[in-house]
Amino acid sequence: MDQLTTKPTIKCTKCQTDRDPSWYPRDRRRRSWRTPWCRVCLRAASRLRRTGLTQEEYDALMAKQDGRCGICRMPFADEIPARIDRSAVGAVRGLLCPRCKVGLSTFRDDLERLRAAVGYLERTA
């Protein structure tokens, strides 16, 4: 593609990829009004900060689970964002949809309680 005839792009200072300006969130504090990192890099950086998971590790998890929730197998999408599930000691167990993650945290990973809940649902169905 001829660069001269295409729309001007911005090179991300992180991944060095030329992207359309829409890939860069607005940032009023900056003179350019755009962040120097693209959305992909910003998202990866905030995930790393929050979870310690690198983009590679995250991608590997996503591939292992076929892009689906580890419990209900719902495919992840914009409305169903993948949430990182961790054990009580902080080890990453997998990716869950928001509902299943809330469900697990409600039961505090208590297997007995979860089994009891299944039993209850089966008894009362």
Binding site for Zn ion (CB under 5 A): 12, 14-15, 38, 41, 69, 71-72, 97, 100
Distance of closest approach, residue 69 Cβ to Zn ion, in angstroms: 3
Distance of closest approach, residue 73 Cβ to Zn ion, in angstroms: 7
Q: Which amino acid is at 78?
A: D
Q: What's the burial of 39, exposed, middle or buried (CB within 10 Å: 0-12/13-18/19+)?
A: middle
Nearer to Zn ion, 38 or 61 (CB): 38
Asked if residue 85 lies in contact with residue 92, where contact means CB atoms within 8 angstroms, the answer is yes
- Alpha carbon distance 49, 51 (integer Å): 6
Distance of closest approach, residue 90 Cβ to Zn ion, in angstroms: 21
Q: Number of helices (H) and strands (E), helices first, in the chain?
A: 4, 4
Nearer to Zn ion, 4 or 36 (CB): 36
Nearer to Zn ion, 51 or 55 (CB): 55
